[in-house]
Every structure is written in C-alpha cells, then in structure tokens.
Structure 1
Amino acid sequence: MGKIDFQKMGDDYMPDHGGIEDALMKTEATIYVVYRHNVYKRYLSRSAAIDCLARVTATQVFNRQQLRIREPSIYNAESDSWSLGELTDGYIRCRERAKRRILRLIAKKRAIDNWDRDYKKWIDNCQRTRDELFSRKPY
C-alpha cells in the first residue's frame, strides 16, 4: 500500500496538521476524551482512549481513500446468518501505525512539558539571583 492520495480525499478536505495531538484530552476527573472526525467518546483508561483514536483515524483514512476495512461477509446456510468479514491486513497495519504515531506525539509533548518546567525553574532562579544582586547595588 502506497502513500495517501489526497485527490481522493475530496474537495472540502483540509489536512489539520497537529490535530491528533489535540484530539486526546485528559479532564480533571481522570477521564480521557477522544474527539476526532465527529466521534466523541469518553474512556477511563489512557490505553483504551489511544486505541479508539487510532481506530477512528485509520477508519477515516480508509473511508476517504475508498479502501475496504473488512473482508466480505460470509453467509452461513446452516444457521441462516451472515458472518462479518475479518479486518483487512492493510487496515490493521494502518491502525497500528496510527497508534505508534499517537504514542510518539504524546511522548514528545511530555518531553516538551518537562523542558518547559525546567526552563521556568531556571528563569525563576535567575530572577532571584538578579533581584538579590540589584538589592546589593551600591549606587
């Protein structure tokens, strides 16, 4: 499977770079909210929320590319019922790639937040040192 063909995405498609980072939120009540492509779900665990976000993202890409997500359904004459087809290998790989990307983005955001926290500590320390130095200014 090759790259995404953006021509098939439609005329109204606008790629929102960085939107995945904003699609997963943690609320005060330790509930993870997934809101992406008009899907709004709440989860109690982080891993379930990440799985849902990867599934929603992969499904949206496959629908826009007009690719099959499932194998064709099979009719079982004995039980007079239809069996839903299995997920395609391409869809499963796409979903796993989306999950890895989401985890990488979360790790990068965590590293940025840690750096910002250290930088703010350093700035506060410099400000205190500067204030102390200027309080001893002889003129």
Structure 2
Amino acid sequence: MMTTSKAKSGIDAAFSRPLRPVYIVTRHGYRKRCLSRSAALNNLAHYMTTYAFRLAGVRTHYPDTPVERDGVIVHQLGQPTEVYLSAHARCIRRIRRLLARKREIQQWQEKHDALTEQYREFMKTKPF
C-alpha cells in the first residue's frame, strides 16, 4: 500500500498496512489496529461516516433507552439509524473502489516502467 514517492496520499495515510500482519486505521483523530482487511475497512468507514454526520449535526444513533438491570436503571445506547447504516455502506463501497483504482494504477505503472526499461535497452542496440 506504499507509494513510490515520499508523500502519502489521503487514502494511504488513512489505510496503511505495516510489515506485520496488522492493519492500522487512522482517521479524524481515531486509531485502531485490526487483524483483518475487512475489519479495517469497516472501522475506516465508521470513522469517516461518524465524522461527516457530526459535522452535519445529524444523529448517528437512535436515542438511549432506560433499561432496568438488577434493580438499577441504566441507559442502553440506541441502535444506529437507517441513514447512518446506508451512508456507512456507501462509504465502504467508495473506499473499495478507491483501493481498486489505486491497484490498477500501480499495475499500469509497473508495466510502464518495464516497457520503458525494455525501450531503453532496445535503443542502446540501435545502429548509428
């Protein structure tokens, strides 16, 4: 997932994979270590969607409900709203599309570099 230049793109900075088998997701002040790629994508989409909803002032969850447990009233967190869940799913699809596009560009770049090297070798043998 590393770029050839020293500067990282936004998706590289948010979704990185070090040499060990752990994905590290950082975005909008959150940081999470995940053991699978799907969990890392899910967390990244969660961070991005939650941040966008917070900026827009839209609730991500239904209101808390008071529940009695062992004679004590506790507040149970409400379920995520339908709007949040659909936005989260769209975000995951877009992240996957970005990563696929990035993979295509890297494959093209590798092929282009190989062809360029072949062309240079060919031009060295050109008779003058």
TM-score by length of structure 1 reads 0.78
**Residue 118 of structure 1, CA deviation:** 0.4
2:124 to 125, 128, 131: 131
Check 1:78–1:56 CA distance in 2 against 1; reply closer, same or farther (3 A cut): closer
**Residue 30 of structure 1, CA deviation:** 3.0
Please list every run of 5 or more consecutive structure 2 residues that lacks an aligned counterpart in the other structure.
1-8
Q: Distance in 2 between matches of 1:33 and 1:78?
A: 37
**Residue 20 of structure 1, CA deviation:** 3.6
Tell me, yes or no, if structure 1 residue 94 matches structure 2 residue 87.
yes
1:28 counterpart residue number? 19
**Residue 78 of structure 1, CA deviation:** 6.6
TM-score by length of structure 2 reads 0.84
SS at match of 1:48: helix
Q: Cα deviations across residues 8-44 of structure 1 (Å, max 9, x unaligned)?
A: xxxxxxxxxx634531011111321111101111212
Please list every run of 5 or more consecutive structure 1 residues that lacks an aligned counterpart in the other structure.
1-17
Q: Could you say what the CA RMSD is over the residues aligned between the two structures, in angstroms?
A: 1.6
2:37 to 21, 33, 46: 46
Aligned residues: 118
